[in-house]
Amino acid sequence: MPGGAGVGVAITQPLLGTFFGLIAVAMVGAMFIAAEYRRGLIRTTLAAHPRRGQVLAAKAVVLGAVTFATGLVAAGFAMVVGVAHLRANTPVDPIGVGTEVRIVVGTALLLAVAAVLALALGTVLRRGAGAVAAVIVVIVLPYLLGELPTVLPANVQAWLLRITPAAAFAVQQAYPSYPQVDAQYTLIGGYYPLPPWAGLAVLCGYAALAVGLATVLLRRRDA
Amino acid sequence: MKLVLHAEWTKLRTTATTGWLLLAAVALTVMVGVLATSAVTCPTGGCGIDPAKTSLTGVYLGQAVVVVVAVLAIGGEYGTGMIRTTFTAMPHRLVVLGAKAMLLVGLVVAAGVVAVLGALLVGRPLLAAHGHLVLSLGAGPVLRAAVGSVLYLALIALLSLGIATAVRDSVVAIGLVLGLLYLFPIIGGVVVDLTWHRHLEQIGPMAAGLAVQATIGLQSLPIGPWAGLGVLAAWAAGGLLLGGLVVRLRDA
């Protein structure tokens, strides 16, 4: 039973919808700039405000704030309603309020940073299609390969969840893993190789790199 | 039909991205295969790894590029409004869709053959160096995995083309198709009930379709190799049918 070390079901199961939300915010983020390129509005935007770095920064702030707020409402709702529903049917290992808040806020941050990553890739590629595909491939695919049991050996799976943007899902880990307890600390049980905030920091690092590249390209290239 | 094929071929050929994307699909498939096969270093030589499947891990990534190529084949026309010119020139819309499907399958099969052969050939010595028992390329199960993977990519292209025709927007279509492919197994992974878990693996387009890559432990597979590819073929047919209906009934 995928409850990990305990007896119950992983308390973060109601947050499975994060993946759907992730694809949605990736679309929003990529289209936020790619739609301007497609319609030619970007030329008006950059003519009205020639400091291109500021345009991108403003877009990132607005997008990040909107997706964070949406994610906060969605994750909070999913946790409260979902966990209550779980408790009514199965035994669930309890977690502290602090952990619960970290999971909800962390999930909202994950969505916001993923949206900014999509915005940056959309700026680099100037096409929504490529940017959305790229975001899904770098975040969802490593998670999937880390979860599937027969494709890659366990040590490779653990590295995938350390060095790719998929590491960010560590922020949803509900129960600590103890080195002295010999349990199955697998992804399906809700265990990740990195600590929660370190995992999110990996995604933030990639997003920062992408935003940096996007700023340089936006400044140098014709619109 | 010949004229339509020629017109569609000109459009596909002269779109700057098609060639580069197909090249990227081949390169990524082989590259991931190299990384995966060099990473499998268990000294016992077993550790339950399927050599052919590991060499072909790159298909998980390569298929995403195939999805983009297939979606853009029609989504790009909707994006620029070119589709109205196309349908004015060729009012039989289903013929246009059929021509696009035939050309896409041809291109994806060509790229798929190169990608799959490359991944298997490069993976062989790497796996053998780590003491894994590797079957030759001509062996029945490996041949099935290779041919099946190429067909898998072609079916993914058809599914993507159908969905892109139905939603008429590249970004939405890519989100939908990649979500369908990648999220099905993730959702299936946390389903506790074993019967349901098995059923989800039997009907999911990616899980069922990639069953064709298995060369060991066939008895424990939730669905047989060719039957699994059949499930994906049903998804592709459903996608194309939906796309065909929508393009027939709705304004472009």
pLDDT band at A3 (very low <50, low <70, confident <90, very high): very low
| Cα of B224 vs its chain's centroid, Å | 18
Instruction: State the smallest CA–CA distance between residue B110 and chain A in angstroms.
Output: 22
**Is residue A154 over pLDDT 60?**
yes
Alpha carbon distance B164, B166 (integer Å): 5
Determine the length of chain B: 252
Residues in chain A with CB shorter than 8 Å from the CB of B65 are: 133
Tokens of A5: 């070390």
- Provide DSSP, B75-89: HHHHHHTHHHHHHHH
Closest residue to A152, CB basis, from B57, B68, B187: B57
DSSP character for A17?
G
What is the share, in percent, of chain A residues with pLDDT greater than 90?
Answer: 61
B82 touches chain A (CB under 8 A): no
**Is residue B10 over pLDDT 60?**
yes
pTM of the model: 0.91
pLDDT band at A59 (very low <50, low <70, confident <90, very high): very high
- φ, ψ (nearest 5 deg) of residue A9: -85, 150
Name the residue with tokens 């019967």.
B195
Q: Is B48–A147 a contact, with Cβ atoms under 8 angstroms apart?
A: no
Which range among A11-25, A102-116, A194-208, B20-34 shows the weakest confidence by mean pLDDT? A11-25
Higher pLDDT, B241 or B81: B241
The SS3 of residue A92 is strand
Contact A127, B174 (CB under 8 A): no
Alpha carbon distance B142, B242 (integer Å): 34
Q: Is B36–A156 a contact, with Cβ atoms under 8 angstroms apart?
A: yes
Higher pLDDT, A1 or A141: A141
Backbone Cα Rg of chain A: 19
pLDDT at A7: 42
**Is residue B71 over pLDDT 60?**
yes
Closest residue to B53, CB basis, from A2, A34, A151: A151
Contact B64, A141 (CB under 8 A): yes
Q: For residue A92, what are the β-bridge partners?
A: A9
**Is residue A5 over pLDDT 50?**
no
Helix spans in B168-216 (H): 170-190, 194-203, 205-209
ipTM value, please give it. 0.90
Question: Taking residues A133-154, what's their average pLDDT?
Answer: 88
| Cα of A211 vs its chain's centroid, Å | 16
Q: Is B189–A129 a contact, with Cβ atoms under 8 angstroms apart?
A: no
Which range among A46-55, A63-72, A174-183, B23-32 shows the weakest confidence by mean pLDDT? A174-183
